[in-house]
Structure 1
Amino acid sequence: MVSADPATVAHLHELEIALHHIFASKCLAIAGFCILIYDHILTFSQEVELIWKQQRSWVSVFFVLNRYITPLVLIVDIYDKGGLASSLSQSFCVNWYFAESAWNLVAFGLIHALVALRLHAIWGRPRWLSITLSVLFVTYFVTTAVIAFKFEIDFAHTVAYNPLFKLCFAEVSPYIWTCWLPALIFECFVFILTIIKAIEHSKRKVNTPVVRVLYRDGIIYFVVISLCSVFNMMVWLLAPSTLVALSKYFVLCIVPTMGARLVLNLRGSRREDLMPTHSGRTTSDDQYGYEMNSKASANRSYNGTPDRNVVFVSRDEVHIGSLSPQDRIQLNQIKSNDRYYRLGSKDGKVHIV
């Protein structure tokens, strides 16, 4: 019996491992895509009601872009990286190599922008936070783009269609994992400020559906997005190049799904927490935000002793149409088990007991 050449055996073993790695990457990408589409189907009725039937805003624009462009990008990715194409041109491989990366950058940027807008609203839109978030966001986005495209340009000459694996393949820089660091730093900053405001609202006894959703989803989002970033970093730092796609497409599915849930959950919570105005706007509009006004908390009577100079009316007796947006913000701060509001006799405004 003729013994096989050791070099050939080693090469075949590497090829076998590469096939297993690519198969694992395909499976995880398809699993992520199924999660994305399944969640889209589950929440489509909410999307119609809470996005398409509402006034257009930056949040709704970001939502729609991530909701519909990301699946289209992933369909092309699955066609390419799934080994479904019998042949792909060199120009397609190179162009898609850069286009896909550009959309990944934009998609994550849109999600981070949504989270920054939420934080900005929670804090009541102070000027210092507007400047800080703007500077940090631009720094994160530009730094990530520079790192990602610098290393991609350096290795663009390695992009080619592999007829054995039936996909476009390219070598990656051993330092490409650093492009996830700016995002991770930005997310930590947002999370810390969210926790600070959550503690402040907790001390003020602010407890409404909107507040609960803001903080619950904010914490869950931070955990998920951080794990996704670390997952990408670890794979790109420690795993062989044949596993570079293991985390990439799965994360691209999970993060937009989380972003869509952030928007839909918050808008859905307003139905029980917010009241409409004459103009069709709500207290969550840009002018008023999600900030729970501190004056209402200061006016709350914690000892339960009624003020003789005020008149008490039941919830059903409050004439909603006569309330200003600021009054609605104050009304929304009342606990669900409270029944009465305090009406000032001079200014006619509603204050929380």
Structure 2
Amino acid sequence: MANSPGSELGPELATIMGSLAVRVAAKYFMLASFIFMVYDHMITLAEEVDRIWQREWTGATWLFALNRYLTELQFIVNLVSPMRIAFHNPHWTGKACVHTGLDTHLVPDHYLYRCEDFIPFPGASTLISITIAEIIMILRTYGTALYQRNKYILGLLAFFWTGQLIVMGTTMRHPTRVELPEGQVGCIQGASGNYAAAFWLAPLVMDSVIFGLTVLKSLEYIYKTRYRVPLIHVVLRDGILYFTLILSANMLNCLLYYLAPPSLKVIGAR
């Protein structure tokens, strides 16, 4: 008995609708993350102006500014391309072209985008942001009262930082794009290969080393001073909070890579 037209279109329509729902979820995830970041920035802006902008600028100040604003700029580029929303721009061209029913010959050249040129940006900008944040944490561990500018500690952390940079950079050598069903448009970063999860495992190792050094030295100071150094308690408390949040975020990214649909695998790199 021949299948009816409706039954033949059913699975295909379900696939298209499922893919569309995942893309909408990914877009709102990015938008919510950006709004939360801007909100956090706004409620701390007065303190930032007082403690950062009105004082002499140093290398640490520049690191703070880069860490503070670079991620926001990354979000803006990912959410809003030069002409349209990058997630659903119908004018992407090149190797990653998607059939949209549009004749690209009728579209002005300055409206045409090459998805293959844009795809490396989300991962590369995330790598830069993480690298800057790790430098700040390294200097914090090296320069505080815990290790008092111990060059051996700086060398150890620099070794792991370099390894992290190499691993993350290697996983980005061949960025891929999510293949969308016919009729859907956009330029969405994907991931392939079992090694891609190392993009998140590498900073997790780096943060674990920093956390271990912080806890080890903090407990040593607390034991020697019998809890009489409040600064050490602050360093230990902040270290635990930071590591817990970063551990949760990186583990979530790893789980998404192995369990989520293709268009959500690297959502944290956007």
Given the two structures, how large is their TM-score scaled by the length of structure 2?
0.80
Q: Unaligned 5+ residue runs, structure 2?
A: 95-112
Partner SS state of residue 43, structure 2: helix
Partner SS state of residue 168, structure 1: coil
Whole-Å separation in 2 of the counterparts to 1:67 and 1:162: 37
Indicate the RMSD between aligned Cα atoms, in angstroms: 2.6
- 1:47 maps to 48
Partner SS state of residue 231, structure 1: helix
Q: 1:174 to 1:239 in 2, by over 3 A?
A: farther
1:272-311 correspondence to structure 2 within 5 Å: none
Structure 1 residue 240 and structure 2 residue 261: aligned? yes
How big is the shift at 1:209?
A: 5.3
Is 80-89 or 121-130 further displaced after alignment? 80-89
- 2:66 maps to 65
1:188-267 correspondence to structure 2 within 5 Å: 188-203=208-223, 204-205=225-226, 207=228, 210-249=231-270
Whole-Å separation in 1 of the counterparts to 2:180 and 2:54: 45
Quick check: which has more Rg, 1 or 2? 1
After superposition, give the CA deviation of every residue in 1:55-77 in whole Å (9 maximum; x if it has no partner): 32332211111222221221121
- 2:199 maps to 179
Given the two structures, how large is their TM-score scaled by the length of structure 1?
0.62
Provide the identity percentage: 23
How big is the shift at 1:207?
A: 4.5
After superposition, give the CA deviation of every residue in 1:157-185 in whole Å (9 maximum; x if it has no partner): x5789884442135420321122222111
- 1:29 maps to 30
Q: 1:211 to 1:51 in 2, by over 3 A?
A: farther
Whole-Å separation in 2 of the counterparts to 1:118 and 1:135: 16
Whole-Å separation in 1 of the counterparts to 2:227 and 2:147: 13
Q: 1:43 to 1:162 in 2, by over 3 A?
A: farther
Whole-Å separation in 2 of the counterparts to 1:103 and 1:170: 13
Whole-Å separation in 1 of the counterparts to 2:182 and 2:64: 38
How big is the shift at 1:88?
A: 3.7
Instruction: Check conservation: 2:190, 2:265, Cα contact below 8 A.
Output: no
How big is the shift at 1:51?
A: 1.3
Matched positions, count = 244
Q: Please tell me the residue identity of whatever aligns with 1:144.
A: M
2:156 to 132, 156, 159: 132
Q: Unaligned 5+ residue runs, structure 1?
A: 250-353
Q: 1:42 to 1:172 in 2, by over 3 A?
A: same
- 1:56 maps to 57
